[in-house]
Amino acid sequence: MPAFAGSVRIAVDIGGTFTDLQILDEATGRTAAHKTPTTPSDPSEGLMRGIAEAAARLGFAPGQVSGLMHGTTIATNAVLQRRLARGALIATAGFEDVLEIGRHVRREIYSRVAEPRTLLIPRRHRWGVRERLDAQGAAMEPLDEDDARRIAQAIRAAGIDVVVVALLHSYANADHERRLAAILREEIPGCHVSLSSAISPEIREFERTSTAVLNALLMPVVASYITKLRDRAAAVGFRAPIYLVQSNGGVTTPAVAAEEPARLILSGPSGGALAAETLAAALDRPDLVAVDMGGTSFDISIVHDGRTRLVTQGEIDGCPVRLPMIEIRTIGAGGGSIAAVDAAGRLTVGPASAGAVPGPACYGRGGGSATVTDANVVLGRLDPAFFLGGAMALDVDAARTAVADGVAGPLGLGLEEAAAGLLAVGVAAMANATRLSLFEKGLDPKDFAVVSFGGAAGLHAAEVAEALGAETVIFPRDPGTLSAWGMLFADIVHDLARSRLVPATTDAVPALAPLVAALRQDGDQLLARDGVPPAEREFRFALDLRYKGQAYEITVPLPDGPLDGDRLAAATADFHRRHAAQYAHSDPGATPDVVTVRLAAVGRLAKPRPRPFAPAAGATPKGTRRTWIGQAWTEIPVYDRDALDATVLAGPAIVEEPHSTLYLPPGWSMTPAATGDLVAVQGTLSRPPAAPRS
């Protein structure tokens, strides 16, 4: 491969097992993929090692790097593993227990007792301060500053690292929270303080408090990681700007990420959703369901009418996060997912994972549990000598022993039947989760093509599509690092919001117009701070609307231009249509309420050019492999992906590339699109896929 002589942009997605890199030659649009094992103790170590390995292989120097787009699971893992700072919560007096009260929602509705709450701050570290605002933000009781200083001194004596301030109705008036923060910084110099009015200025006390708590407890964790990353980068002469990918699919600067780390909860998976949205445009296929299967998880995102869907609230380990994020459903089904037989003789796969260390048994690192990857080795779908392009040899005997001891023996099955059963259980779980992601939006799987990416997805995507009822699977180029590739297309995004509960009528315009103007001014200032030129700034407004009496909202875009009655009416009509599509009913004669005004302030970054692609001269198998299909061993052809031409390939077949293996079952056919992405369908392709949009 010729050296990358000009400027390069790098995108990195740090997963639980591998760190994926995509390197873009900005002059030609050429990209190259690279993988390296993740270093869980300090992910920045694996990141910088991966960049060094890619630089040596591709022939570029640190000084050629124009920017680093970085997706990370540091925030997610810190919450799941409870590697969090010691925190304190200050609430309005009488509301110290909002985290325990929560919502009256029970997952097990017939249980005699409610499930326990996830409490990240114990009761002894929650204080109530004397103050009170009404729902419009007017002061009913001023902030008692003597009380505030007493609380600050108690917090300092308790050795607290971070303080959360979440006062009643602070979304309408943040003055009390800001003054309390100033007192805390006077009394506890150097203390991290997270204000609910800053991170999530919206109604719903429980969700706003939970978001502020997560944000606060993550601040030292993410700040420490960013410092390590900068130090490692500086040590090797890497001085390019660093952007961290947020849950909304946009990127932000390290300074903002350190202050608002809760926005990184879905940092890694959102890159895959961005990639799927980019592919939807390139392939002229507006409806895609993207499935990302790595070593630990199976992530599902939907592209409908060419766009991914943003939701205003998510959840991590039982804790609500009231921030805009790409809607992604995740289940514990990856290449490292562990198979087990329970006391009732039932075979389960996941959510426990062998991870990167020790990894599946076939990695030869001491793992002894049977995993999905081990089953693929046993059934001949993976070449033990070509894993990661030959960079890592797999231990076939260890895989066979793990499947025999963990599955075949307890179930009284033959080795191959046990491995096939393990995969069937995993495929069923993946198909069910994907089906639910579509059905809950009123969408039919037959109208969607499955986009398969992640290091392990290519081995299972066609079987998942069959179980789902979808008829087309797209295998993108560099599927093992596609999430990182998607990050190359990210823009800087700041999500801002202001809650104001008013009927969506013309009479509401005088109340809402100042909010719109203030949000735009704030967004403009943030983008200016990021160094985004005025010509590259974009402002996307939206409204959260609901029918009276509802406890949930639908977010609808607000047409461009100054807010007036016509634009508000257009948004209202859009709300009725979306409500009917999502919930199968609407009331066009009713006047909905405006709950929240939202702004996505976007700083557009330069986008990569289309990647050049030319099909090979002839698709000749590089060999055959003995593979278990149905109930028998069968010799099937194995192809090198780079050697595929524009003809139609019929299954069963295996297609290999350095970071992924694709399995095409019997009854499927496949051919490259003009973009180089492989399009597979059930049955026989009568013609090549349509050319992409110009």
Q: How many CB atoms lie within 10 A of CB 652?
A: 17
Residue-wise pLDDT for 155-198, tens only, equals: 999 999 999 999 999 999 999 999 999 999 999 998 889 999 99
State how far the alpha carbon of 677 is from the alpha carbons of 447, 449, 645, 668, 670, in Å: 19, 13, 12, 16, 10
Place of tokens 């609910």: 196
What are phi and psi for residue 402, nearest 5 degrees?
-65, -45
DSSP-derived secondary structure for 4-37? --S-EEEEEEE-SSEEEEEEEETTT--EEEEEEE
Q: Which residue has the tokens 């925190």?
A: 87
What is the layout of strands, in order, in the sheet containing 192-195? 126-129, 87-92, 162-166, 192-195
Average pLDDT over residues 530-551: 94
In this predicted structure, what is the pLDDT of residue 1?
Answer: 58
In angstroms, the CA 46 to CA 43 distance is: 5
d(CA 334, CA 113): 33
626-655: pLDDT as tens digits:
999 988 999 999 998 888 887 888 889 999
Query: Which residue from 287, 317, 316 is spatially nearest to 303, judged by alpha carbons?
Result: 287
- The answer to whether residues 430 and 331 touch, using CB atoms and an 8 Å cutoff, is yes
Which position has the token pair 């609808």? 556
What Å distances lie between residue 664 and 518, 660, 668, CA to CA? 54, 13, 6
Helix (H), strand (E) at residue 347: strand 347-353
Quote the CA–CA distance of 623 and 638 in Å, as a whole number. Answer: 5
Pick the more confident residue, 602 or 27. 602
**How far apart are alpha carbons 303 and 286 in whole angstroms?**
7
Region 330-344: what's the mean pLDDT? Answer: 87
pLDDT band at 693 (very low <50, low <70, confident <90, very high): very low
> Biggest alpha carbon distance in the chain?
81
Tell me: pLDDT of 252 over 70.
yes
Pairing of strands 298-304, 288-293: antiparallel
- pLDDT tens column, 13-51: 987 678 889 999 888 888 888 888 888 888 889 999 999
With bands split at pLDDT 50, 70 and 90, how would you rate the model's confidence at 694?
Answer: very low
- pLDDT, the chain, mean: 89
Q: List the beta strands (DSSP E) in 561-652.
A: 593-603, 623-629, 632-640, 649-650
Q: Is the pLDDT of residue 541 over 50?
A: yes
Q: Which of 42, 53, 63, 59 is nearest to 20 (CA)?
A: 53
One DSSP character per residue, 474-505 reads EE-SSGGGHHHHHHTT--EEEEEEEEEEEESS
Q: How many CB atoms lie within 10 A of CB 682?
A: 16
